[in-house]
């Protein structure tokens, strides 16, 4: 859905009526989001600030080794 909207936007064919309607969230969930958003934002900021090691997300958060597994011998255009 995201790629289709992106391509339509690039081609100037985007129309808001093409998007599906979203179900409104309940008052309980909206209050929960308002109350928890500051804490989750601060937690994410602290994790980004104080995580010094580079981790490879593709390999289940194992530390980076600095070793290349593959390399190109020719320049790619």
Question: Model confidence over 27-50: pLDDT tens digits?
Answer: 999 999 899 999 999 998 898 888
pLDDT averaged over the chain?
77
Q: Does residue 10 lie in a domain region?
A: no
- Residue 53 in any domain: the answer is yes
Any domain includes 58: yes
Q: Which two tokens stand for residue 10?
A: 């690039």
Quick check: is 40 in a domain? yes
Total domains, the chain: 1
Q: Cα separation of 33 and 24, whole Å?
A: 14
Percent of the chain topping pLDDT 70: 58
Residues with Cβ < 8 Å from 58, sequence gap 6 or more? none
- Counted residue by residue, the chain has a size of 77
Q: Which pLDDT value is given to residue 71?
A: 63
Q: What is the pLDDT of residues 3-12, one digit of tens each?
A: 777 777 788 7
Give the domain range for residue 56. 22-65
Q: Identify whether 47 is part of a domain.
A: yes
Is residue 71 assigned to a domain?
no
The pLDDT-based confidence of 74 (bands split at 50, 70, 90) is low
pLDDT of residue 1: 67
Q: What is the pLDDT of residue 42?
A: 93
Cα–Cα distance measured from residue 10 to residue 4, given in angstroms and rounded to the nearest whole number: 10
């Amino acid at each position: 859905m995201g790629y289709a909207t992106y391509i339509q936007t690039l081609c100037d064919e985007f129309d808001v009526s093409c998007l599906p309607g979203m179900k409104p969230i309940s008052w309980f969930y909206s209050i929960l989001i308002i109350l928890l958003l500051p804490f989750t934002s601060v937690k994410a900021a602290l994790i980004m600030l104080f995580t010094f090691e580079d981790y490879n997300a593709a390999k289940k958060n194992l530390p980076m080794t600095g070793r290349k597994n593959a390399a190109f011998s020719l320049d790619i255009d």
